[in-house]
Amino acid sequence: MASFDDLERLREEGLTRVREAAGGEALRALEREYLEKGGVVTSLLAEIPKLEPTARRDAGIGANRLKGEIEGALAARREELLEAELAREAGGAFDATLPAAPSQRGSLHPITQVTREVEEIFTAMGYRVLDGPEVELDFYNFQALNIPADHPAREHQDTFWCDEEQNLVLRTQTSPVQIRAMETLEPPFRVIAPGRVFRNEACDATHEHTFHQVEGLVVGEDVNVGHLIGTLKGFLGEIFRRETDVRLRPGFFPFVEPGFEVDVRCPFCESGCRVCSDTTWIEYCGCGMVHPHVLRAGGIDPERWSGFAFGMGLDRLVMMRHRIDDIRHFMGGDLRFLTQF
Ligand SMILES: [Zn+2]
């Protein structure tokens, strides 16, 4: 039972407990314990009439002051807790100093990146960028490119047939765009056609059913092999960002005559490395002077016009540049691979 002798101790204890109350529940409990019926302060006040008349005044002042102080402390602590709560809530939404929630940012596929780069280099050289259908007629994919039905070259390009009666294939190369360009454009012209191509073959580290090529075609008067070599050297120098030696070897492609295989000086070494199999040369692209049959198939007079064409793998280019050892990564859809670019 609280007594007036203890007033100072009760005051200290009461105020400390209120100041340290952890929340609304605790404050409500303290309010009951001190101020309500049967509580510490209320009981003291109830004692006053029983005291000696001379003591009543001081007792009344003391008890009422304690009551006021406890009430004041409760209100102050309530306010304090409310402010802390608001600050906590506001902090979650608006605190600019907190680290941001991590967000995933996309990136362009490495093939898309290199395709854009190739397009920029060639458009700077005056080329137009063309697109062609991925589902193509046999005529454009083979016949017009000097690959008739019985030609052995067809066996090297394992073809996905969409509809054999209608002669529809998934294009095995970007070369059919050459014919479409000749049909629609008036020479002289320069075009490139990057895009997806498809081969029905077993997939391994260097073979994929879907891959990417860029085709180039220049038709004009007196276009010759020197122009072709100059163009490829210029392009490869840009794409590898350094002066690049190229070497031409005779190569056979039905749609060019003469045809060449182009080797590029290995961009990774001076005296041989794993990428170039210690030869310092990397076999890179096929090219040549457009075969008269092909010009004719495209409606262009080979007596008046000549041209060169080249085709190269874009996957191969990205693989060389980033030393990627398996072509299947490109279409694999693994974000761990793709987010590196
Ligand atoms: Zn090398």
Q: 191-224 burial string, b = 16+ CB within 10 Å, else e?
A: bbbbbebbbeeeeeeeebbbbbbbbbbbbeeebe
Q: 91-119 burial string, b = 16+ CB within 10 Å, else e?
A: eeeeeeeeeeeeeeeeeeebbeebbeebe
Distance 337 CA to ligand 1 centre (A): 24
Distance 282 CA to ligand 1 centre (A): 8
Is 101 part of any domain? no
Distance 212 CA to ligand 1 centre (A): 23
φ/ψ of residue 217, rounded to 5: -145, 130
pLDDT at 206: 82
pLDDT at 135: 96
Structure tokens at 322: 């980033």
Do 120 and 25 share a domain, yes or no? Answer: no
Is 219 part of any domain? yes
Distance 283 CA to ligand 1 centre (A): 11
Do 155 and 12 share a domain, yes or no? Answer: no
Domain residues for 228? 110-338
Do 128 and 227 share a domain, yes or no? Answer: yes
Q: Which of 283, 241, 244, 242 lies closest to 262 in space, CA to CA?
A: 283
CATH number for the domain harbouring residue 309: 3.30.930.10
Distance 281 CA to ligand 1 centre (A): 7
pLDDT at 329: 92
Is 103 part of any domain? no
Distance 273 CA to ligand 1 centre (A): 4
Phi/psi class of residue 126: alpha, beta or left (left: φ > 0; alpha: ψ in -120 to 50)?
left
Sign of CA pseudo-dihedral 314, 315, 319, 322: positive
Distance 235 CA to ligand 1 centre (A): 19
What average pLDDT does range 301-328 have in this prediction?
A: 92
Distance 114 CA to ligand 1 centre (A): 21
Distance 280 CA to ligand 1 centre (A): 5
Do 75 and 122 share a domain, yes or no? Answer: no
Q: Are the C-beta atoms of 218 and 307 separated by less than 8 Å?
A: yes
**CA triple 48-52-54, angle to 5 deg:** 100
Indicate whether 1 pLDDT > 60.
no
Task: Compute CA 64 distance to the chain's CA centroid, rounded to the nearest angstrom.
Answer: 72
The span from the CA of 291 to the CA of 307, in Å, is 9
Please count the structural domains in the chain.
Answer: 2
The residue type at 231: T
Distance 279 CA to ligand 1 centre (A): 7
Do 79 and 184 share a domain, yes or no? Answer: no
Q: Which is higher by pLDDT, 156 or 329?
A: 329
Single out the residue in 68, 94, 120 at which a domain terminates: 94
Is 70 part of any domain? yes
The span from the CA of 223 to the CA of 274, in Å, is 37
Distance 241 CA to ligand 1 centre (A): 16
Do 237 and 313 share a domain, yes or no? Answer: yes
Do 200 and 325 share a domain, yes or no? Answer: yes
- Sheet with 256-265: strands ordered across: 128-129, 189-198, 210-220, 306-313, 281-290, 256-265, 246-250
Distance 261 CA to ligand 1 centre (A): 18
11-40 per-position pLDDT tens digit: 999 999 999 998 889 999 999 999 988 888
Distance 233 CA to ligand 1 centre (A): 18
Distance 237 CA to ligand 1 centre (A): 16
Distance 240 CA to ligand 1 centre (A): 13
Q: Are the C-beta atoms of 194 and 214 separated by less than 8 Å?
A: yes
Distance 195 CA to ligand 1 centre (A): 28
Distance 265 CA to ligand 1 centre (A): 8
Is 100 part of any domain? no
Do 114 and 90 share a domain, yes or no? Answer: no
Do 301 and 250 share a domain, yes or no? Answer: yes
Distance 129 CA to ligand 1 centre (A): 31
Is 105 part of any domain? no
Do 49 and 115 share a domain, yes or no? Answer: no
pLDDT at 93: 64
Distance 112 CA to ligand 1 centre (A): 25
Distance 271 CA to ligand 1 centre (A): 7
pLDDT at 166: 84
Do 133 and 176 share a domain, yes or no? Answer: yes
What average pLDDT does range 315-330 have in this prediction?
A: 88
pTM metric for this prediction: 0.68
The span from the CA of 255 to the CA of 289, in Å, is 8
The residue type at 1: M
Distance 232 CA to ligand 1 centre (A): 19
Do 114 and 228 share a domain, yes or no? Answer: yes
263-307 per-position pLDDT tens digit: 988 877 888 887 788 898 988 899 999 999 999 999 999 999 999
